[in-house]
Structures are given as structure tokens and as C-alpha cells.
Amino acid sequence: QEAAPKAEAAAKPNVVILATGGTIAGAGASAANSATYTAAKVGIDQLIAGVPELSQLANVRGEQVMQIASESITNDNLLQLGRRVAELADSKDVDGIVITHGTDTLEETAYFLNLVEKTDKPIIVVGSMRPGTAMSADGMLNLYNAVAVAGSKDARGKGVLVTMNDEIQSGRDVSKMMNIKTEAFKSPWGPLGMVVEGNSYWFRLPAKRHTMDSEFDIKDIKSLPNVGIAYSYGNVDDTAYKALAKDGAKAIIHVGTGNGSVSSRVVPALQELRKDGVQIIRSSHVNNGGFVLRNAEQPDDKNDWIVAHDLNPQKARILAMVGLTKTQDSKELQRMFWEY
């Protein structure tokens, strides 16, 4: 009789929560403040203490890696987080890792980790749309779901995942499609599954290379190159592109209209920049998921440009940076944009 609880404790998975800040750690002046608040206020110990039910799912411990709103995250922050995740993933007494994160750049961090972490242990990135001080705060349940998925054996080998609004999304595909609403995170290809009352229900698997099957490894990445993003619209000119190149961008993500199209007022500058060695990567600013194909709208073969395919501009920046740590060859980079 005495042995039972002990056996139960031993069977529970060990999950580490790495806290980085964001609204999930935010606080507002009153319960009515769902949108007006300060992000990155509450420490990880307080967050964990706020959801006592976590201890039913796993042996949970927390680490405060940083405390920032995610719009302010830098490449150095990404590397710091990535290295800590890798150390924990290598540790025998860690079964799964949760990262609490602001939602503004959550999709970038999730995709970055999906590319560079050589582990099949679950890595779950999670945030919230409302601070914990607000009525109907969503952080508690999102965090509970994240720990549940991180501790489950079923989540192994599926790449970095995101648990928001009861859905399990692929860290590669998911994007913040809407602000204000708690139903903020969507993937153009749909969620992988659902998490309900601590149980995961899976419906599909990621088809793109990730984690164990990736050619990238955080342990080999010393720094990330400068990659900029320039946005297209009617009456656009080449000012932003030239400024990014002048600032030393190794690649520029062109946020094109529609099919990643490029204004005739911008084409000559992009052809020049490519001749000067800058990689030009065409993506799209359409809201529900772009889909850019080679030589559609623009002669990519002739210009030696790259297409981002279905990656949105901010995810294209992540893959371009990681890819450029391995190669400067545009054909190799294009291969990566098809495979990841």
C-alpha cells in the first residue's frame, strides 16, 4: 500500500519548463484588462505555482531563461534558448521540454528549434493571448496542455509543437493569424491534433524534415547571419531593399504581393543585389498562407533567386539564417526551402 504512490511518482515524466516571458507571464492592472497589460512580469516559479494540476501530469521544474516580450527577441536570444534546449534534451532525466513564450514571434522560435534540435523528445512552445490577471485568461490551460503533450510518449519524433487553444500545431506550419482573439494560432495545413483534459489526440504528421532528420544542429551554429525582410505594396520602391543590403544583409526576404510577385520598380535593384552576392528570397504577404513557386511571376532561374514556397516571410528568415550557416549556394538554399 505504501509503495503505490511512490511507483506512480516514478512513472510520471520529467518535464522542464523554460520561461522566456511574453503575455503568458504578463500582468494587467485589473481583471478587465485583457489587451492592456505588461508582458513578461511573472516569474516561472509563480507560473508553475498558479497551475497546481501540473504536478498530476509530470514532475515539473522551471528555469527562467529570459524575461522579455517576444517582439524584442534577438538572434542571440534564439541561440541561447536553443543551446539550453539541446543541453536538456541530452539529459537522461528529462523526458520533455516546454518553452513559455510571447506569441508575437512564437512561430519563429518554434520553427528555429524545429530545424536545429537533434532530439526526438517532445519540445512544446506555448504562450497566451491574455495575461494571467485577466478574466478568462488562456495561459493556465495552454500551459497545462503543453506539459501534458511534453510528457506524452506519443509526441516523440513529431518535431517542435505548439499547444494553443486546445490544438496541437506543428511548429513549422503554425502562425499567429489573428491578434486579440484566443483563437489566434492557425496553420494553413491544419493542426496535427487536439489536447483535451491532458490527453492528446493525433490526426496527422508533419511531412517536412525536422529535428532528428534535420541537417542542422544547434551545436554547430556559432552565430546567425543578418537576413532582412522588405514588404511590398502598391507604389513600393527599392529603398528598403537597398537599405537592408547596405546594412550587410546576406539575404533579403521579399514579402511579395500574391504569388510573391515583384514590382517593376523593384526588379532591377533585386537583380543588382543578387549580382553583389545578396540572396533574394521571394515569399508572399497574403494573409492565409502564401504559396510561391519558382518561375511563376518572376524568372527565378534567370535571376538566380530563391522561392520560400509556403513559408511566411518571418519563417523564411529563420530558414535562410540557418541555411546560410551551411552554404552560400542559392541552389542548395532552394533545396532547403523545399525540404524544410
Ligand X SMILES: NC(=O)C[C@H](N)C(=O)O
Given the residues 20, 100, 103, 105, the one annotated as active site = 103
State which residue, 26 or 159, has the beta carbon closest to ligand X.
Answer: 26
Q: How far is the CB of 192 from ligand X (least distance, A)?
A: 22
Q: How far is the CB of 42 from ligand X (least distance, A)?
A: 12
CA distance 178 to 172: 17
Q: How far is the CB of 305 from ligand X (least distance, A)?
A: 31
State which residue, 56 or 74, has the beta carbon closest to ligand X.
Answer: 74
State which residue, 76 or 213, has the beta carbon closest to ligand X.
Answer: 76
Q: How far is the CB of 43 from ligand X (least distance, A)?
A: 15
State which residue, 72 or 325, has the beta carbon closest to ligand X.
Answer: 72
Q: Give the CB-nearest residue to ligand X.
A: 102
DSSP letters, 295-319, are TSSS-HHHHT-EE-TT--HHHHHHH
User: Mask 243-282, x = binds ligand X (CB under 6 A)?
Assistant: ----------------------------------------
Chain centre to alpha carbon of residue 250: 22
- The residue within the footprint of ligand X, chosen from 16, 17, 19, 39 (CB under 6 A), is 39
CB atoms under 10 Å from CB of 309, counted, come to 22
CA distance 332 to 323: 9
Pairing of strands 193-196, 199-202: antiparallel
User: Mask 186-225, x = binds ligand X (CB under 6 A)?
Assistant: ----------------------------------------
Q: How many residues bind ligand X (CB under 6 A)?
A: 11
State which residue, 89 or 164, has the beta carbon closest to ligand X.
Answer: 164
Q: How far is the CB of 206 from ligand X (least distance, A)?
A: 24
**Pick from 309, 319, 265: which is nearest to 289 by CA?**
309
Does residue 104 have a known ligand-binding role? yes
Site for ligand X in 84-123 (CB under 6 A): 102-104
Residue 59, phi-psi category: left (phi > 0), alpha (psi -120 to 50), beta (remainder): beta
Going 302 to 308 to 310 to 314, the CA torsion angle's sign is: negative
- The residue within the footprint of ligand X, chosen from 14, 23, 261, 312 (CB under 6 A), is 23
Does residue 100 have a known ligand-binding role? no
**3-class secondary structure for 46-62?**
HHHHCCCCHHHHCEEEE
State which residue, 104 or 238, has the beta carbon closest to ligand X.
Answer: 104
Given the residues 20, 23, 109, 211, the one annotated as active site = 23
Residues 6+ apart with CB under 8 A from 190: 203, 204
Does residue 138 have a known ligand-binding role? no
Chain centre to alpha carbon of residue 320: 14
Residue 190, phi-psi category: left (phi > 0), alpha (psi -120 to 50), beta (remainder): left
- The residue within the footprint of ligand X, chosen from 22, 96, 132, 171 (CB under 6 A), is 22
Buried b (16+ CB within 10 A) or exposed e, 38-60: ebbbbebeebbeebeebeebbbb
Is 133 considered catalytic here?
no
Residues 6+ apart with CB under 8 A from 76: none
Is 20 considered catalytic here?
no
Beta bridge partners of 59: 14
Q: Is 127 in the site for ligand X (CB under 6 A)?
A: yes
- The residue within the footprint of ligand X, chosen from 69, 137, 236, 311 (CB under 6 A), is 69
CA distance 253 to 305: 11
**Which residues are annotated as part of the binding site for substrate?**
70, 103-104
- Catalytically active residues are 23, 103
Task: Return residues touching ligand X (CB under 6 A).
Answer: 22-23, 39, 69-71, 102-104, 127, 129
